[in-house]
Amino acid sequence: MTTISSSGTSYEQAKPPAEIYKNDTISIQNDTISGQNDTISGQNDISSLIMRHV
């Protein structure tokens, strides 16, 4: 019984992580989008420095 469950557990553990990795890929894409937003906010910081000089 224990031997069968141990081999079955290895198969069950192999499937859920694959779904988790797919979710991680989506979250990585979201991080890339937020990174673009950081770049835009960085441009706003540069424009604010120019406004201070003017």
- Per-residue pLDDT of 26-38, as tens digits, reads 556 655 555 555 6
- Per-residue pLDDT of 2-50, as tens digits, reads 445 455 555 555 555 556 566 565 556 655 555 555 655 556 666 666 6
Identity of the residue numbered 8? G
Dist. CA 33–CA 39, nearest whole Å: 10
